[in-house]
Amino acid sequence: MTRPHQRSRSRLGKAGLCIRLLGASVLAGALVAVLALPLVGAVGYGAKSAAGSFDQLPDSLTAPVLAQASTLYDAGGGVIARVYARDRTVVPLARIARVMRHAIVDIEDNRFYQHGAVDLKGTLRALATNAGSGGVAQGGSTLTQQYVKNVFVEEAGDDQAKVLTAQRQTLGRKIQEMKYAIGLEERMSKDQILEDYLNITFFGEQAYGIEAAAERYFSVQAADLTLPQAALLAGLVQSPSRYDPLRDPDTAKERRDTVLDTMVENHSITAAQAAAAKAAPLGLDASPPRQGCITAGTGEAFFCDYVKHVFLANKAFGATAEARQALWDTGGLQIHTTLDPTAQASAQSAVTSHVYATDQAAAAITLVQPGTGKIIAMAQSRPYGPGDHETELNLNVDRLMGGGSGFQTGSTFKPVTAAAALENGIGMDQVYPAPYQDDYPAMQTCDGSTLPQVPGDQNDSPDLVGPFDMPTAMAQSVNTYFVPLEADAGLCNVVRMARRLGLGSQALPDASGRLKPVDQVQSLTLGTNNFTPLQMADVYATFAAHGNYCAPVALTSVTTPAGASLPVPGASCTSAMSSDTADAITTMLHGVVQDGTGAPAGLSDRDDAGKTGTTDGHRQVWFTGFTAQLAGAAVVSDTKAPLESLNNRSYGGVYVTDAFGGTLAGPIWKQAISGALSGQPDIGLASVPLPTPPDPSATDTTPPDPTATTP
C-alpha cells in the first residue's frame, strides 16, 4: 500500500523546499520561545545558549562511508568466510521490502513524509515535557534526526566514550541534530534519507543495517521480509537489547504487535492483516554472528588466514598498515580467491584421514597450479582454533604469513641440487662411487669462504652402495651421491638456484619479521634448511612448468561495494632454469614414483613425478610431487619441542614402525591429488628421454676436484 503523502522531496518541487525552510525559521523561533519559559530553570540557560548559536552551527553533515562486511569466495563462488568490524551489507531501497519501509516509518516517525527535517509539533511537545522533568524524558526526533545521531555513533567507531557522547540526549545535542537534519533535507529526498537510515541503524545481535538484521534473525534478505518479520525488526530500533527476540521472545512479540497496531492506525495495513500477523509465531531462524577466518571450514580457515596476511602486507590496499587493516575490517569488499573447492575438500580429507588431530604429529599439504602460482588447496590435520588439539599456526606457510619456521625438507631438496648441476654442464650420466659413508668435501660459499672437508655423510641403509648415475641416485635418494654432486655444481650455484625457486630466505623463528638467507652448509643438498609446504610446492610446480617459477597467488579479484576493482598481486613468473633442465628433472622424478622411494605415492591413472624426504631421526617426512595440472607438498612432523622421532607411533589409527616420506607423507599426497583431479584427463608430463646409462665398471668414478669448481 502506498500512501498519498509518501512523496520524495524531488516531487515536492520549489514550493515544498520553501515550506521546509520557512518551517526551520519558525522552529528556531519557537525553540527560543519555549526555552525562555521560567519553568525551564537551569536547563533553560544551557539550552538558550545552544539555541542562540543555532545559526552559527554548520548545516552540512558529511555522511560516513559505512563499515561493511567483506566476503571471501573460493574459485567456485562459494563463501569461505565473512570478515567485519560491523556486520553490515548496504542495500538500495528497492531491495528492502515495502512492508519494512512502512513498518519503520509508522513506529518511528509516522509523519516522516509530511513534515520537514524537524517535526515542530513533536519537538515542542518533547521540549515541554523535558523541561518539566528537568532533563530529557521524551525524544521527539524525526527519522532524519535519528539518522544524524546514528552518523555520530558510526563515526565514533569502537571508542565507547565517543559513542556515549554521540548518544547523549542533551538539549544542545538535540538542537545540533536539528540543524544538521535541516541541511540534509535540503540536499536529499525523503526516500534517500530512509534508505540511509535503514542501512546505518543498529538492530541488535551485532547486526547493523536492515540486510544484516534480516539475515541475523530470519536468515532471509531484506527484500523478502514478511509483515510479521518487518514489524519485529522495526520494533527493535527503539531498544535492541530490551526487545531482543533471541533473549526475551515474549517482550519482543508484544513490541511487534505494537508496531502492527501502529501500522493499522496509519493505514499501512488492514486490521485483518494485523490480526493474521499477530497470530503468527515469531518464526525466528537465527544465523548467529560469525565472522573472521575461524568461521571458515576446517581447512579453508588457514587459507583465509593466509589471504588476510597477503592483503595486509600489500600496499595496493592502503599506504599504511592501519589503512589496510581498516579496509579489511570495514571495506565491504568482495574478495575472490584461487581456492578450488573440490581440491580443498580432497586435501583436507587426505590429511585428516591419515593423521588425526589428536595425534602428536601434524600433517599439512599445499597444492598449487604449475605455470600460474595459484594456490589451489591448503589443508592441515589440526583444526583452526585456540582449543585442545587445535592451532592457529598455519603449518603451510612461514611466520611472516601466519605460520611457523617451516620444516627441514630432507631429500625433497635434492632436485634443486640436480637442477644447479644440469645448468652448470653436469649431465645425468655423471657417476659417483656413493659408498655407504663418506666425507663432506670442501666447498666454497657465495662470499668466498671455504668450508673444510668434514666427515658425516652417509646413506639411510648400509646396503645402499654405488656407483650410481644421477637418475638412479635420485630414485634411491642416495645421500653420498648428491653431496659430491653439490660440490661439483658449486655450493653457491645451488644456493642461487634455490633463490630462483623462491627459497632465497626464511623467516626467523621469532616475531621480528626479519629474514635470514639460506644457510650455506655442505648438508644443504640433504635438506637441512627449513622451508614450508607452500614453498616446496612452488619449487616442484616449476619443474612441471618447464622451468618457469611463479610466485604464489591467492587473490584473483577484489572489488568494492561500488563495483570498483582494486589491483591484486598478479603472477610474478620468471625463468628459473632452462626447459631442458626442468624436463630432465621431471624425467628423474618420474622414476622416483615408478620404482624408487616414492613408489607408494605413485598414481596409477596418470603421469606423475615426485620425491620423498625423511630428515635425521625421522622427525619429519615429506612427499612433494606433481602432475601436469597440479603440484603439491605434504609434510608430517612431530610438534613437540624438542622434536621427537615419528617412528613407533600411530597416525590416523595405524601404527607405524618406521616413518618415511614415501610411506607416511606419500599416501597423503596421493589421496589429495587423486581427489583434486578426479574426472580430469591425464595430460601427461613433458619429459626428455633418459640417456643411456654408462657402464659403471668402465667409468672413472673419481669425482672432479671440488676446488676447481667456480662458485
Q: What is the pLDDT of residue 449?
A: 94
Tell me, yes or no, whether 516 lies in a domain.
yes
292 vs 560 pLDDT, higher one: 560
Tell me, yes or no, whether 62 lies in a domain.
no
Q: What is the pLDDT of residue 711?
A: 26
Angstrom distance (rounded) from CA 347 to CA 668: 8
Asked which of 209, 244, 279 is the last residue of a domain, the reply is 279
Q: What is the pLDDT of residue 612?
A: 96
Percent of the chain with pLDDT over 90: 65
| 460-465 long-range Cβ contacts below 8 angstroms, 24+ apart | 460/614, 461/436, 462/436, 464/434, 464/436, 465/434, 465/435, 465/436
Which of helix, strand or coil describes residue 165? Answer: helix
pLDDT at 17 over 70: no
Angstrom distance (rounded) from CA 599 to CA 660: 12
| Cβ-based burial of 265 (10 A; exposed 0-12, middle 13-18, buried ≥19) | exposed
pLDDT at 2 over 80: no
pLDDT at 265 over 80: yes
Angstrom distance (rounded) from CA 490 to CA 471: 20
Cell readout for 24 is 526551520
Tell me, yes or no, whether 154 lies in a domain.
yes
Identify whether the C-beta of residue 339 lies closer than 8 Å to the C-beta of residue 80.
Answer: yes
Q: What is the pLDDT of residue 373?
A: 94
Angstrom distance (rounded) from CA 69 to CA 86: 7
Question: pLDDT tens digits for 423-453?
Answer: 999 999 999 999 999 999 999 999 999 999 9
Asked which of 279, 311, 336 is the last residue of a domain, the reply is 279
Q: What is the pLDDT of residue 566?
A: 94
Tell me, yes or no, whether 355 lies in a domain.
no
CATH of the domain at 504: 3.40.710.10
What's the whole-number average pLDDT of the chain?
Answer: 85
DSSP 8-state class, residue 175: H
15 vs 58 pLDDT, higher one: 58
Q: What is the mean pLDDT of residues 317-337?
A: 92
Does residue 267 share a domain with residue 412? no
Question: pLDDT tens digits for 380-415?
Answer: 999 998 888 888 899 999 988 988 889 999 999 999
Cell readout for 272 is 485483518
Q: What is the pLDDT of residue 550?
A: 94
pLDDT at 669 over 50: yes
Sorting pLDDT into bands at 50, 70 and 90, what band is 507?
A: low
Q: What is the pLDDT of residue 86?
A: 86
DSSP 8-state class, residue 202: B
Q: What is the mean pLDDT of residues 139-162?
A: 78
Identify whether the C-beta of residue 336 lies closer than 8 Å to the C-beta of residue 558.
Answer: yes
Q: What is the mean pLDDT of residues 578-603?
A: 94
Q: What is the 3-state secondary structure (H, E, C) of 565-610?
A: EECCCCCCEEECCCHHHHHHHHHHHHHHHHHCCCHHHCCCCCCCEE
Question: pLDDT tens digits for 670-706?
Answer: 999 999 999 998 888 864 444 444 444 433 333 333 3
Asked which of 279, 309, 342 is the last residue of a domain, the reply is 279
Tell me, yes or no, whether 382 lies in a domain.
no
Cell readout for 701 is 668414478
Q: What is the mean pLDDT of residues 651-660?
A: 93
pLDDT at 708 over 90: no
Number of domains in the chain: 2
Sorting pLDDT into bands at 50, 70 and 90, what band is 6?
A: very low
Which domain range does residue 641 map to? 407-554+571-698
Phi, psi values for residue 422, rounded to 5°: -60, -40
CATH of the domain at 207: 1.10.3810.10
**How far, rounded to the nearest angstrom, does the alpha carbon of residue 644 sit from its chain's CA centroid?**
33
Tell me, yes or no, whether 325 lies in a domain.
no
Q: What is the pLDDT of residue 490?
A: 97
**Closest by Cα among 348, 471, 370, 377 to 683:** 370
Question: pLDDT tens digits for 459-493?
Answer: 988 999 989 999 999 999 999 999 999 999 999 99
Tell me, yes or no, whether 81 lies in a domain.
no
Question: pLDDT tens digits for 629-651?
Answer: 999 999 999 988 788 999 999 99
pLDDT at 135 over 70: no
pTM metric for this prediction? 0.78
Identify whether the C-beta of residue 554 lies closer than 8 Å to the C-beta of residue 570.
Answer: no
Sorting pLDDT into bands at 50, 70 and 90, what band is 155?
A: confident
End-to-end CA distance of the chain: 84
Tell me, yes or no, whether 199 lies in a domain.
yes
Which contiguous run of DSSP H or E holds residue 367?
strand 361-368
pLDDT at 139 over 80: no
pLDDT at 60 over 70: no
